[in-house]
Amino acid sequence: MNIQQNFSLQSYNTFGLDIKAKYFATFETETELNQILEKCANIPKLILGGGSNILFTQNFEGIILYNQIKGIKIEDDFDDSVIVNVGAGENWADFVAYAVKNGYCGIENLALIPGTVGASVIQNIGAYGVEVKDFVKNVYTNGKKSVYNNIDCKFGYRDSVFKQENPKQSVILSVTFHFSKKPHLKLDYGDIRKILQESNIENPTTKDVFDAICHIRSSKLPNPAEIGNAGSFFKNPEINRSHFEFLKQNFPQMPFYPVENPEKVKVPAGWLIEKAGWKGKKIENIGVHEKQALVLVNYGGGKGIDILNLANQIEKSIQEMFDISLEKEVNIL
């Protein structure tokens, strides 16, 4: 067990912010985790995966626990489906590529999302009409409740029981997924069909959709290795359909997506932010990405508090212009 002090987190958050943790420790097994927790019982704790959905606004005066529990194990292999257990510290994008390569269907639309498998469950990540909750069978933790089934997880839009409750009470160790071996492709979001048509693909496979998603994300979203960012900074808001119809009188091209509640619709936050004039706006070392208004960026040397202030300004302008409240998707510390 190696606990480091005054540890720089610049390489451990995708915004690339030069923030320090008072203490830092890596764990690869539940035993190592419990040893660290016992030794640091009275110290504030933060579990860190890929650091891709977090904005540090100040140094962390506690211990960062860096989850590196790895491993992919087939628990059951049936004719038409498969159950796979995955370590919480596995890279999510790598796992999606693994699933597609092995013919496990469903999560191809979640390609290239940064972060870890454990974080994917906490956040209930989603993209292009798919959410991770649709495939989670069980989540295993080191807490008093060691196994959560899908219902126990209380999944919501970018939400779960692990995000709602005190995350210090338990740490996700691994996740079991249930995948079909028969494709059920979702093609009606974003530019998926357009990309497939441009490639003259009439009967797409899971791999074709995976490749299309990778192309879309690579062309629209900045690589954190090149420009600091945490992907989508805001959630897409759900608004009353009556308010949407009112707004369409002034914004007839306003896009929307249906949701389960027929009295509501989901509006793309990126479209709202672009309409409000923020797209491509740069303020010293930070700004809004030039190709995707949903992404706030650190061009180098930026500070977390400045990014947070920018986000608050954007929220205020969207409220004033559309009477819509934006909610941050990124966790703020």
Same domain (yes/no): 275, 314: yes
Report the 10 Å Cβ neighbour count for 169.
12
Mean per-residue pLDDT of the chain: 92
pLDDT tens for residues 194-253? 888 888 888 899 999 999 999 988 888 888 888 999 988 999 999 999 999 999 999 999
Among the candidates 67, 89, 106, a domain finishes at 67
Specify the pLDDT at position 231. Answer: 87
CATH number at residue 144: 3.30.465.10
Number of domains in the chain: 3
Same domain (yes/no): 80, 176: yes
Specify the pLDDT at position 245. Answer: 93
Cβ–Cβ < 8 Å for 110, 132: yes
Residue 151 CA to its chain's centroid (Å) = 20
Among the candidates 67, 100, 120, a domain finishes at 67
- Does residue 167 have a pLDDT over 70? no
The model's pTM: 0.83
Nearest CA among 13, 213, 224 for reference residue 119:
13
Cβ–Cβ < 8 Å for 67, 47: yes
pLDDT tens for residues 129-165? 899 999 999 999 987 789 999 999 999 988 899 987 6
Known catalytic residues are 158, 232, 329
Specify the pLDDT at position 169. Answer: 66
- Does residue 166 have a pLDDT over 60? no
Q: Which domain holds residue 16?
A: 4-67
Mean pLDDT calculated for residue range 88-103? 96
C-alpha distances (whole Å) from 195 to each of 189, 213, 271 are 11, 9, 20
Cβ–Cβ < 8 Å for 318, 273: yes
CATH number at residue 52: 3.30.43.10
